[in-house]
């Protein structure tokens, strides 16, 4: 498993002209196959256990490098940008209460409206925003001093 990661990472660096640094490797290793859509702090926290000296700025720079080359996807227009290891077309459900983001597969048979048929689509995302099942099931919080 570890060997696969090293090989994959070396190929990725070669392709993009990056140096194979331990910092890039740590970020890549953490995000590969990770479906939790972490923000920069989440990634930083995780890679620091492996590389205690890595700075938040380095993590941020590496994440943006990866997103620019399509290695990961950056989700914007959320409170904090989140980073996604899945770069294929898929949808997101975002809970406005707890911030949890879950993936769902693109519904089959999505057809573009005729006026968009000539457009060059670089990225497709369907985003649903609401309240997740967990939050919807939680009892409402009674504000203090109102009982
Ligand atoms: Zn929620
Ligand atoms: Zn996703």
pLDDT per position as a tens digit, 61-77 = 999 999 999 899 998 77
Q: What is the pLDDT of residue 90?
A: 86
Q: What is the pLDDT of residue 8?
A: 93
CA of 94 to the centre of ligand 1 (A): 8
Residues 12 and 78 in one domain: yes
Supply the CATH number for residue 93's domain.
3.30.1490.190
Give the mean model confidence (pLDDT) for residues 26-46.
Answer: 94
CA of 79 to the centre of ligand 2 (A): 16
Give the residue numbers spanning the domain of 95. 89-106+122-136
DSSP 45-57: HHHHTT-TT--HH
Q: What is the pLDDT of residue 145?
A: 65
Residues 98 and 74 in one domain: no
Give the mean model confidence (pLDDT) for residues 135-147.
Answer: 74
Residues 65 and 132 in one domain: no
**For 23-27, 71-75, 124-128, 132-136, which range has the lowest pLDDT when averaged over its residues?**
124-128
CA of 138 to the centre of ligand 1 (A): 9
Residues 58 and 130 in one domain: no
Residues 6 and 78 in one domain: yes
As a whole number of angstroms, the longest Cα–Cα distance in the chain is: 64
Other C-beta atoms closer than 10 Å to the C-beta of 75 total 19
């Amino acid at each position: 498993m570890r060997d696969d990661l090293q090989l994959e990472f070396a190929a990725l660096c070669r392709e993009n002209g990056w140096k194979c640094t331990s910092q890039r490797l740590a970020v890549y290793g953490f995000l590969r196959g990770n479906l939790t859509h972490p923000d920069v702090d989440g990634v930083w926290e995780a890679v620091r256990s492996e590389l205690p000296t890595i700075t938040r700025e380095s993590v941020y720079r590496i994440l943006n490098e990866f997103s620019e080359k399509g290695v990961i996807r950056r989700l914007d227009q959320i409170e904090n940008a989140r980073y996604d290891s899945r770069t294929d077309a898929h949808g997101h459900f975002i809970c406005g209460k707890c911030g949890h983001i879950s993936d769902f597969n693109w519904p089959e048979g999505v057809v573009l409206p005729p006026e968009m048929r000539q457009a060059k689509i670089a990225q497709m995302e369907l985003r649903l925003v609401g309240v997740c099942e967990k939050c919807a099931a939680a009892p409402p919080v009674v504000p203090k001093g109102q009982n």
